[in-house]
Amino acid sequence: MIRMLASVTDPVESEIAVTAGADLIDLKNPDDGALGALPVSTIRSCLDAVAGRRPVSATIGDLPMEPACVADAVSRTAATGVDIVKMGILAGGDPQASIAAAAQARGPAALFGVILADMVSPTLDLVRAMAGAGFIGVMLDTGLKDGRTLRDHLSADALAGFIGQARDAGLSAGLAGSLRLADIGPLAALHPSILGFRGALCRNGARRDVIDQHRVAEVVHGVRVSSDRLRQAGAPDGLQAYGFP
């Protein structure tokens, strides 16, 4: 079964996403980059709004790949009580050491890596480093948010290869990156564990706008229809099979 991840910015959007049927609630600040971090106080307010009805993840920000910087942000975010801390992999710095540092700082939270595929090549070495550090999953996303989707940057074969590498390493595999309704079918056919959305959920399709309950429900329906078709065809349940809480 493919889960639908909804990126939200505040408690009101968190409630909208839960009510509309999103499987995973992801906390981020779209005004501050691809993986912009929300204030700790806002994260806690969102957790109160969700009240345990869905798993909640939170991003740590578009940070340089410097181990001390990453570890501090992971520790601070994990201390809010989120289920999952999402760490982006950006160009430059030392991503391998930063992955190891994140693992040491995560506390009781799980870790999910996010490779910004328009900036960093999603190599097998990165996937294996995350698996070795105890991450539960890895997602491809885009960093530039310039109107192009993940599918504009990577071919179906490349995306399928990434999903296969993640699963071989024991990780859940997610796909995001300015995805629209039209992307659900082609990407679901690659059997990811998660499809993540922000802009498609918002009024006028603008990721910095407020999410709309009808748009969220429409995307949820699209993911579920595609997921049901895969299940009927005998596809594995990616999240249960690969350790998602």
Give the residue numbers annotated as catalytic, written as ranges.
28, 86
Strands (E), the chain: 3-8, 24-27, 56-59, 84-89, 110-116, 137-141, 172-175, 194-197
> CB neighbours of 56 closer than 8 A, spacing ≥ 6?
24, 25, 26, 27, 46, 47, 50, 82, 83, 84
Tokens 């998660």 belong to residue: 194
Compute the distance between CA of residue 125 and CA of residue 96 in angstroms, rounded to an integer. 9
Compute the distance between CA of residue 64 and CA of residue 181 in angstroms, rounded to an integer. 32
Q: By C-alpha distance, which of 23, 57, 234, 69 is closest to 139?
A: 57
